[in-house]
Structure 1
Amino acid sequence: MREENYVDILKQNLKTSVRKIKLGRKWVFQMDNGPKHTFKVVAKWLKDNKVKVLEWPSQSPDLNPIEKACESKEAYKPDSVTPALWAKIHPTYCGKLVQGYLKHLTQVKKCKGNATKY
């Protein structure tokens, strides 16, 4: 994915998604440190749009809730999904994934950052 493509995805979907799943104003954007996430143009867009980003160490256990959506029966690969396919994932389902996040974090902490069952 080219850096411009990722910025376009953020422009078109980030704030809309926040509203749809009713996160309010005090949300933090979480992403791993994959190459497309660390482009300077992406960092600039996030800063210019006042998006608070969760600090995330590289090579960390993958705790991104959307990964669970990609493992579901609707198995999508995140890098190959079109906006139309993402639109089919119901906001309530995304909210449930986020709600399960504490459980995942607790397990990672218990395993001291090593592999977990998640």
Structure 2
Amino acid sequence: MKYIHQILGDDDIIFQDDNASCHRAKTVKTFLEERHVRSMSWPANSPDLNPIENLWWKLKKMVHHKAPTCKADLATAVRESWNQIDEQYCLSLIKSMPQRLQAVIKARGVATKY
């Protein structure tokens, strides 16, 4: 939260998640409530509306390519792979949201190419 406040200031923060049970745990709810963070209602099982899923897929693919064989190698592979992800790639995912929303509307909620 400290990092988010450094970037965004003290404006209202809205927490958006994919409805995974770990995001719905009581400790998470308490953490968010104590910090006055609102949650956004979001459809479950909708990776096409979550650009971060594309980022996790890319990171997973990069780490897999490094073929770590132990926990230390895995940690190194994750750090190295994360640092290799281009900022422009992340920005393109963010900028894809209007097209993603239009695709979901056009598909009437059915899965899209995203």
Most deviating of 42-51 and 94-103: 94-103
Q: Give 1:104's aligned residue.
A: 100
Scaled by the length of structure 2, the TM-score of the pair is: 0.63
Over the matched positions of the two proteins, sequence identity in percent amounts to 31
Structure 1: runs of 5+ lacking an equivalent: 1-13
Does residue 58 of structure 2 align to residue 72 of structure 1?
A: yes
Alignment CA distance shift 1:98-1:52 (3 Å): farther
Q: Give 1:117's aligned residue.
A: 113
2:37 to 42, 51, 54: 51
The amino acid that maps onto 2:37 is: V
Alpha-carbon distance between aligned partners in 1 of 2:99 and 2:25, rounded to the nearest angstrom = 31
Note if contact 2:12-2:37 (Cα within 8 Å) is conserved in structure 1. Answer: no
The amino acid that maps onto 2:15 is: F
Q: Aligned ranges for residues 1-118 of structure 1 at < 5 Å?
A: 14-16=1-3, 19=6, 25-59=11-45, 61-62=46-47, 63-72=49-58, 75=61, 84=79, 88=83, 89=85, 91-118=87-114
Alpha-carbon distance between aligned partners in 1 of 2:87 and 2:28, rounded to the nearest angstrom = 25
Q: Give 1:3's aligned residue.
A: none
1:29 Cα deviation from its structure 2 partner: 2.5
Larger Rg: 2
Note if contact 2:18-2:44 (Cα within 8 Å) is conserved in structure 1. Answer: yes
Scaled by the length of structure 1, the TM-score of the pair is: 0.62
State the SS of the aligned residue for 1:72. helix
1:107 Cα deviation from its structure 2 partner: 0.7
4+ aligned runs moved over 6 Å, structure 1: none
Alignment CA distance shift 1:87-1:33 (3 Å): same
